[in-house]
């Protein structure tokens, strides 16, 4: 491990667009190809309570009901990935939130459509990763490999 490198775990949610377009496998292969390790993975249907908690920072905005409708349209796949500086590295691999601004070669640049239909959610800091991992994975569902 190089200087300044820390092993971190990030939460990724494969959004309904990824599930519907059968992109979970190809995107997961890109994460693994980049050297990340799976610590936990499961499919789950998100309800209002967990979505309100997960998106609490934007729950007051007028487009929030649209996000809830989208994120509950199909089950999502929750993924815990670990690796060196995983939080920032996963976000670099994904590209910016707005898929239209994402460069070709990034996951969102190649596969996303816009700011909401953008393949995956990923933790934006180590603090949010810790909270999000607890929200989506129970004790005993994350493994050290």
Q: CA dihedral defined by 75, 46, 142, 133, rounded to 10 degrees?
A: 130
- pLDDT confidence of residue 2: 56
**42-88 per-position pLDDT tens digit:** 999 999 999 999 999 999 999 999 999 999 999 999 999 999 999 99
Q: Which domains does the chain have, with CATH numbers?
A: 7-136 (3.30.70.141)
CA distance 31 to 125: 18
Quickly tell me which residue has 């979970």 as its tokens: 24
Interval 73-85: pLDDT, tens: 999 999 999 999 9
Q: Given this model, what pLDDT does residue 145 score?
A: 82
Close Cβ partners of 31 (under 8 Å, ≥ 6 residues apart): 12, 79, 81, 90, 93
What is the C-alpha separation between 1 and 118, in angstroms, rounded?
31
Q: Are 80 and 39 in contact (CB under 8 A)?
A: yes
Which active-site residues does the annotation give? 121
Helices (H) and strands (E) in the chain, counts: 7, 4
pLDDT band at 22 (very low <50, low <70, confident <90, very high): very high
Crossing angle, helix 24-33 and helix 86-94, to 10 degrees? 130
């Amino acid at each position: 491990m190089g200087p300044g490198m820390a092993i971190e775990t990030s939460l990724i949610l494969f959004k309904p667009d990824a599930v519907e377009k059968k992109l979970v496998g190809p995107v997961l292969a890109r994460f693994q190809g980049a050297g990340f390790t799976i610590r936990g993975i499961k499919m789950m249907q998100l309800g209002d309570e967990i979505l309100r908690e997960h998106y609490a920072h934007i729950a007051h905005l007028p487009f929030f009901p649209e996000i809830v409708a989208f994120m509950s349209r199909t089950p999502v796949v929750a993924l815990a990935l670990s690796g060196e500086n995983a939080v920032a590295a996963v976000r670099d691999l994904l590209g910016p939130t707005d898929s239209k601004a994402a460069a070709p070669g990034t996951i969102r640049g190649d596969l996303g459509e816009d700011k909401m239909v953008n393949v995956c959610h990923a933790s934006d800091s180590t603090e949010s990763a810790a909270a999000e991992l607890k929200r989506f994975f129970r004790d005993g569902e994350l493994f050290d490999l």
